[in-house]
Amino acid sequence: MVGISVFAIILVSCGFKITDLFLFIAIISAGVAFYICKLLPIALLRSIFCSILNLFFRVKVDGLANLRKAGSKTLIIANHVSLLDGILIAAYLPRKITFAIDGTWGAKWYVKMFSGIVDFYPLNPTNPLSVRSLIDVVNQGKTVMIFPEGRISVTGSLMKVYEGAGVVAEKSGAKIIPLRIDGAQYSKFSYIGNLIKTQMFPKIKLSVLPACELNVAQNVSNRERRRLISLQLHDIMANMIYDTTEKKQPLFNLILNAERIHGSKHKIAQDVTGITLTYSQFILKTYILGEAYLCAFNNDKNIGILLPNSLAAAVSFFALHCAEKLPVMLNFSLGTKQFSSCLHTVNIKNIITSRRFIEQGQLHHLIDCAENCGCKIIYLEDFSQKIGVINKIKGIYRYLQRKGIKSNSNEAAVILFTSGSEGLPKAVLLSHRNIQAIVLQIHLAVPFHSRDVILNALPMFHSFGLTVGTILPLLYGVKTYFYPSPLHYRIIPEVAYNLQATAVLGTDTFLYGYGRMANPYDFFSVRFAVVGGEKLKERTAELWMQKFGVRILEGYGTTETSPVISVNTPMFYQSGSVGRFLPRIDYRLEKVIGVEDGGKLLIKADNVMMGYIKPEKPDLLQTVGVWYDTGDIVKIDENGFIHIKGRAKRFAKIGGEMVSLTAIEQVLDELYPDAKQGIISVSDDKKGEKIIFVTDAENADIDDIQKYFRMNGLSELWIPKEVLYVKNPPLLGSGKFDYINAEIQYKQSK
């Protein structure tokens, strides 16, 4: 005992931390114990190991019945998050496991310590014969364990998946058992201590999932077969992590959990004011502001937020959650007619905004519109001065307790708006579960981590800007810089340079603008440039690759899907596509007349919205049923990449915003009631698409149209850019306007 004490004192004097000392002593003690126990029966050894692991890590195991159901000829695959993974699997699975590991690892003394309860099979990736021999091991009825990633994760998310495990399973006919290890990544035995705040003894959970099999076509080359096997293994692993991650917590509680993982002093958010907030500062502000909002809004549930990208907007969003109110993100680019419709649709009585923002954005017309609708305007500059001592004390008390909220994950977490075919915005309700699903799905696809810095200039009333640009980084410890406008093409590249931003979000229009104005070194630190909201043009992709050496990752989705369905990733990328489906998105294609290669896309997933609230029925939540109809015609290739062929619904995407062509036609029918006319959209280098008014009205004039739209409080985005006069507009046999031939006539006129 005295010797151990003297040894401990010597180590501490040499600079060892107390926690490292305990860890060192634990490893030595465990090593001695393992050598002693090599002579004991396997069942007793497992019992001893389980008792020790339970004592320190409170290990929980789910799904062991799935292992029994799979039979004896099985191959286990697991994510690899720490040095504890092997002993956890060996101790808690009720079989003797044969671990297929690299020969260099098998020779290490601390690996040999476990030879009493497991068998080791040295696997040499460069020797095909070793894989063939492993197939024989499986055929003998032994349960084999392989880590498909081949190494312990250094990112905290899935890494490259090797096809070896799949080849063994396919050749032997074994069933694949996915096994999720969760919690060990937070221990001192993981390799991501530089990304998160590790713990001495975190809780660990093992989840054994039902058996599955690979499905690879027989008529492909060996190289293609191995590639497809790797792809399917990756999907199995991603689905495994998605399925075993809890999605039942309200978003506010997840912020508290993120603080525990990354540390209270971890810097998480910054804006143009120069203020940077840590997790503890951010959470304290939400508690105090939440208490103030709770008093100010009484029984009102839906609270409007009319703010630019800023710390104030992010804090207000979560403060409303803390007060168990429902944030309604208001689009300040709308005309007064659409804006007032939004307020009536979801019964907004209070709007949080900023006096400075209204003045700088010249948005007084929206404030007048809101007041005419009976809304109370809360200016944060004034409101912050009136927060009382009682509110502050209550907020600090809740902060010290880190008290969460009791909202159901299936309740609405936010209301956003999108344009409907009838021309007025529809409210889209996203639940806590919808948003948790999408941030998890994206995190499994794109490996963001806590050392990344996201530059987000997309407004929070846009679902991409809210869920991907705001909520995802806050929940995963990624520092976010909120910039108030995406239109500052000269300034944003300079901001990215000064921040050393590693991720940039935007639409094609915005990224092209940044690329043209930026110095070639402005985006030197960027790892991910993600584009959504409109199609990525070849010119933009080439500009970023040639000027900055950055490959833009194009994604696809809708507001109703929170908002992502698919995305190209660093691991799975195909030019001209919008990427592969995110994990656990089921789809089917509905036949469309005239489309031979593809169909209309319908999906089913956790990230699909709760439903719509439409202006004509403001008291009714209208769900979409089992399958959500995207309205897009797509082709899906053999590798799962989605190619957009066209839109079944008549919308145009202008600068990333959806504009209803049908709604514009209805307005123009009022202005020129006796004309035969229609609206088409064509590609545009500046805004993605532009609207063309095709008519036989000889007096049709752009200036008159602009005046009429503005007089009716309609958005500037709705105004046609050109008028094409046609003496005999093309009509279908039914008398309806022929849009296809109208577009042909327009192109011929150019």
Tokens of 291: 């208490």
Dihedral sign of CA atoms 431, 435, 440, 441 in order: positive
Rounded Cα–Cα distance for residues 90 and 96 (Å):
7
3-state secondary structure 604-663: ECCCCCCEEEECCEEEEEECCCCCEEEEEEEEECCCCEEEEEEECCCEEEECCEEEEHHH
Rounded Cα–Cα distance for residues 649 and 628 (Å):
14
Q: Give the max Cα distance, the chain.
A: 104
**Residue 239: which of 437, 80, 73, 99 has the closest Cα?**
437
Catalytic positions, please?
Answer: 80
**φ, ψ (nearest 5 deg) of residue 276:** -120, 130
Give the amino acid at 723: V
Residue carrying structure tokens 């840590």: 278
**Residue 305: which of 283, 281, 321, 284 has the closest Cα?**
321
Element housing 707 (H / E): helix 702-711
348 contacts 375 by C-beta, under 8 angstroms:
yes
Report H helices in 38-190. 42-57, 64-69, 85-92, 103-106, 109-112, 128-139, 164-172
E strand segments, 420-477: 425-431, 453-456
Q: Is the peptide bond before 563 cis (omega within 30 degrees of 0)?
A: yes
Rounded Cα–Cα distance for residues 651 and 665 (Å):
12
Rounded Cα–Cα distance for residues 205 and 667 (Å):
59
The distance in angstroms from the start CA to the end CA of the chain is: 93
Rounded Cα–Cα distance for residues 645 and 535 (Å):
11
Give the amino acid at 68: R
**Residue 156: which of 174, 183, 178, 127 has the closest Cα?**
183
Rounded Cα–Cα distance for residues 743 and 650 (Å):
14
**Rounded alpha-carbon distances, angstroms, from residue 274 to 117, 172, 277, 355, 747:** 57, 60, 10, 19, 49
Rounded Cα–Cα distance for residues 185 and 80 (Å):
9
Q: How far is CA 5 from the centre of its chain?
A: 50
DSSP 191: S
Rounded Cα–Cα distance for residues 27 and 114 (Å):
13
For residue 76, the SS3 value is strand
Rounded Cα–Cα distance for residues 486 and 558 (Å):
20
